[in-house]
Structure 1
């Protein structure tokens, strides 16, 4: 209290009472103003975080946030022109912190929070599996993509665990060192690892110096099952190594490159097919690394074959094969079979795929080869071949059924020789899909590998589960629903085994799709994007998590404190 307050305002006097009321009212007003100012600042901060999140989810540059603010302001002047509080609205929008550097920090905070949530869930999970693949970005930096799948509550979560730049070489030991460093940095344990899925590169699959081989030698890493990506294997099978059809493909690629790789040729060809009003507006270039490329290139080429021949004649560059009846039937057959293989490939793609369903798709295709394709002399299952021979019956004289049967038999043999690692555990996959129609004794190899000390208990609980008829109806609601009802209290050894198997990746589809996202983010206009920001943006663009507003605001407050 001020020393002269009692003199100026004697205790018990009316003047003192009025002065105290005046001071109290003034204090309340100041407090309301401070609270209102604080609340406004918090709302502006929250709004800027939400805008940053939406931009990152949309794979947009940091600087687009400034455009968003400009759009807000321009729209507000029109939308709220007749509102009494238009000036207040515009003032709020102008207060939004949306510079590119601010948005960058917001996205860094969001990415860290999402990563922390994921690592906490992985640490708490009883088991997890990883899918690992490597690719180079726009600036030729090797990026190691790792996805993780683990049980969470009553379902399974698939998330990008990390996107790690590999400096220098990309040997198995380099990949392992990057993984070990990440796990140490995030305090993650390897003890719950159930399986690892990779592509077929020696740096991944090598028994001695590949990632899988080196991981199996590490003491801190438990026994795990490794898989060669089932889609990569299908893609290898679909290359059709038959010499005749390799020559057909080489001719197609040579002609396509002549037309597309030269700007003048490409423009003139597009004008030609526009004049002819064709089904397709252009050819496609072949890419070995794209799973569906071969079939799409051949389908376009066959559809535009007359126009291609006309164009080459005009250019004085005739290709005799394109007018050879035998070659045309081979092209049509190759187009049909690659289209069938593309259909199979699409069935194998996607997230949250059960291994049993993927194996069933493979087996179904093998059965189609022997039961439908090989005996088909009327081309019912080869629509392109049927179309060209119907339009020009003389082509049938040049059709060699035996030659095509040889190709199909070779293809069937390739399917038989592949997928051994996945087929080795097909019984346990079938058990997961339907536990009531599997002989428990056939599951011994997988049980021994995943639960070496609990085999007797697991097998006993499996038989016990098969006797519960009331559970059978629950399968109609889905495999995930069924196993969510099987409690760990009633099946203490079986439930952990099931969780391990259901966490398996048998394809690296998630990694491949992430590389597509990565290349969209780090494009020519953003080639200077740092590895840290690339990982952060890719994580936000692919995650199913939502950031915690309270935590990111705390990070923001800590950053501001460190600046003062």
Structure 2
């Protein structure tokens, strides 16, 4: 028994310690479509179905059976076929191979410029490079790619470094822009505004033709140190053009708002520019004029508008009242719980404010039923009037937005403005016949004859004011051959353009351009080369800015940059604004060649 007890554990130990046989991969298995698995060389990997088998299957018979049963169509394939599959598999892209296999072509210095450009585009603080971007890249490299972050640490992204990079790239872009403007025609739009600490800024945009497209860029942003007279503004522009050797005669047109300092007939800035360049076209911003028309409402409708504004202010002015109204709207399952205020500076706010008021009209009628303003709006005529105002200002807002944006021309503006005038005249007839289908909110009311007459009178005022304010635009002649050169009857065209247009209408290459790009085909180099006279005339009509919208957007960018945490940023001298607004790309490789990379401190 003692012997049995002593021997039995020994036998058990020997049996449990017996090693399991591990089969090795052989190159001969490739003729069955198998290679050694990348993650474990002891496992066979099928190149056809990309299935990984166990080590027990590392036998000729089992691998051959797998090929014949699951891939019978490839059973008779030769070795060359499977070798090609192996090569393709080894050349496949993976996350690690994308980063590890490629040679480094971008230095940390170049990456520093690229990231600084992104920081400027986003308008973020310069410290975000060291505080967020570098730690984020390091975390990604270590966690996902399992790589060292020494190159990231070597990348200079300190606050001062980012600032220098931004200034250098801004200067490079400005140099590119100036070189382009020295040798080509361009149009200008200008606007001046007051920002922090009552600082007056002048912002100027240019539009020129580059590579068959419109290019719109900020020319400069300058401070008006003392006064903001027309002479001050003109001198700023003239000085900038002179020091950069840009001829004033290259300016084909200038657009600005209707402020006397800009558009004054005797002493306005644009008048001073035209005195030096008589061929220049002066454009009063169409968006500004449209906004002036929208302010022209009758006394009856003005009282209704005031009642709406007072009702909204009654809720918004008091924090408790505002919270109670929000809770009241939630309890009534209203579509909205927030009110929108009307501000004269924000031109679209009037339409948005009225639309939201009508969407919450039932809630207002219950919540403020005792106020005199709401009692006025709850009358039959009062509700009809406010419904009409919400509808007409929504239409005016749509027109305003259509006049905004990049690459807009006077052709576009004229079509939209006079199309809207035709719509107003059509609405007059429909409303006179008590057909309110074109007015969403008014169609839900039952206006009295008195209310209908007030509405018709207002539509007449709008149409008349539009006609008067845009009379100059109506007189601008846009020949049909400029819009449709392929379809126009050549005999109806001026003699000086007939020869070129006759050839153009039989030029399949240029006809294709017009079919694809429409009137913008006049901007293409091919059109200019083949038909210089016609192209020159067409570009004179297309190049002018119809509004000062881009300058307004530029001031919005200024306000975004001058946040509370960045109120010490010198928007005039620093390059942040130009990089945020530009579409040009800085020559980073050239800038890098002037520096020696150094790590952040």
Q: Secondary structure at the match of 2:478?
A: helix
Counterpart CA distance in 2 for 1:423 and 1:403 is: 28
Map Cα deviations across residues 232-284 of structure 1 (whole Å, 9 max, x no partner): 11111122331111111222222222322333332332222222221122111
Query: Larger Rg: 1 or 2?
Result: 2
Residue 28 of structure 2 aligns with which residue? none
Distance 1:203 1:412, change over 3 A: same
Contact 1:461 1:491 in 2 (8 A): no
**Structure 1 stretch displaced more, 104-113 or 395-404:** 395-404
| CA-CA distance at 1:325 after TM superposition | 2.1
Contact 2:256 2:283 in 1 (8 A): yes
Distance 1:370 1:138, change over 3 A: same
Counterpart CA distance in 2 for 1:185 and 1:550 is: 27
Distance 1:300 1:186, change over 3 A: same
Residue 164 of structure 2 aligns with which residue? 105
| CA-CA distance at 1:488 after TM superposition | 4.5
Residue 45 of structure 1 aligns with which residue? 109
Contact 2:209 2:523 in 1 (8 A): no
Map Cα deviations across residues 506-539 of structure 1 (whole Å, 9 max, x no partner): 11111122222222222222211102356x2222
Contact 1:325 1:398 in 2 (8 A): no
Residue in structure 2 matching 1:470, options 471, 487, 506: 506
Residue in structure 2 matching 1:521, options 540, 561, 579: 561
- What pairs up with 1:212-227 in 2 under 5 angstroms? 212-218=270-276, 221-227=277-283
| CA-CA distance at 1:153 after TM superposition | 3.3
| CA-CA distance at 1:42 after TM superposition | 7.3
Residue 83 of structure 2 aligns with which residue? none
- What pairs up with 1:34-433 in 2 under 5 angstroms? 43-66=107-130, 67-80=132-145, 83=146, 86=147, 89-125=148-184, 127-218=185-276, 221-313=277-369, 319-376=374-431, 377-387=434-444, 389=445, 395-397=446-448, 400-428=451-479, 430-433=480-483
| CA-CA distance at 1:424 after TM superposition | 2.6
| CA-CA distance at 1:41 after TM superposition | 12
Counterpart CA distance in 2 for 1:313 and 1:495 is: 64
Distance 1:143 1:263, change over 3 A: farther
| CA-CA distance at 1:360 after TM superposition | 1.1
| CA-CA distance at 1:168 after TM superposition | 2.3
| CA-CA distance at 1:363 after TM superposition | 1.5
Superposed CA RMSD in Å reads 2.8
Counterpart CA distance in 2 for 1:346 and 1:442 is: 36
Q: TM-score, normalised by structure 1?
A: 0.80
Counterpart CA distance in 2 for 1:539 and 1:419 is: 33
Contact 1:150 1:157 in 2 (8 A): yes
| CA-CA distance at 1:398 after TM superposition | 6.9
Contact 1:131 1:505 in 2 (8 A): yes
Q: TM-score, normalised by structure 2?
A: 0.75
Counterpart CA distance in 2 for 1:186 and 1:289 is: 35
Contact 2:571 2:577 in 1 (8 A): no
Q: Secondary structure at the match of 1:161?
A: strand
Distance 1:194 1:420, change over 3 A: same
Counterpart CA distance in 2 for 1:75 and 1:139 is: 43
Counterpart CA distance in 2 for 1:490 and 1:372 is: 47
Q: Secondary structure at the match of 2:140?
A: helix
| CA-CA distance at 1:433 after TM superposition | 2.0
Contact 1:176 1:215 in 2 (8 A): yes
Contact 1:151 1:499 in 2 (8 A): no
Distance 1:439 1:223, change over 3 A: farther
Counterpart CA distance in 2 for 1:76 and 1:533 is: 37
Contact 1:347 1:361 in 2 (8 A): yes
Counterpart CA distance in 1 for 2:449 and 2:364 is: 22
Contact 2:189 2:545 in 1 (8 A): yes
Residue 583 of structure 2 aligns with which residue? 544
Counterpart CA distance in 2 for 1:151 and 1:302 is: 46
Counterpart CA distance in 1 for 2:328 and 2:484 is: 56
Counterpart CA distance in 2 for 1:442 and 1:541 is: 47
Counterpart CA distance in 1 for 2:331 and 2:372 is: 21
**Structure 1 stretch displaced more, 327-336 or 341-350:** 341-350
Q: Secondary structure at the match of 2:565?
A: helix
Contact 1:109 1:556 in 2 (8 A): no
Q: Unaligned stretches of 5+ in structure 1?
A: 1-38, 390-394, 444-458
Contact 1:164 1:178 in 2 (8 A): yes
Contact 2:490 2:502 in 1 (8 A): no
Counterpart CA distance in 1 for 2:215 and 2:104 is: 37
Contact 2:521 2:527 in 1 (8 A): no
Counterpart CA distance in 1 for 2:297 and 2:106 is: 64
Contact 2:258 2:288 in 1 (8 A): yes
Contact 1:59 1:541 in 2 (8 A): yes
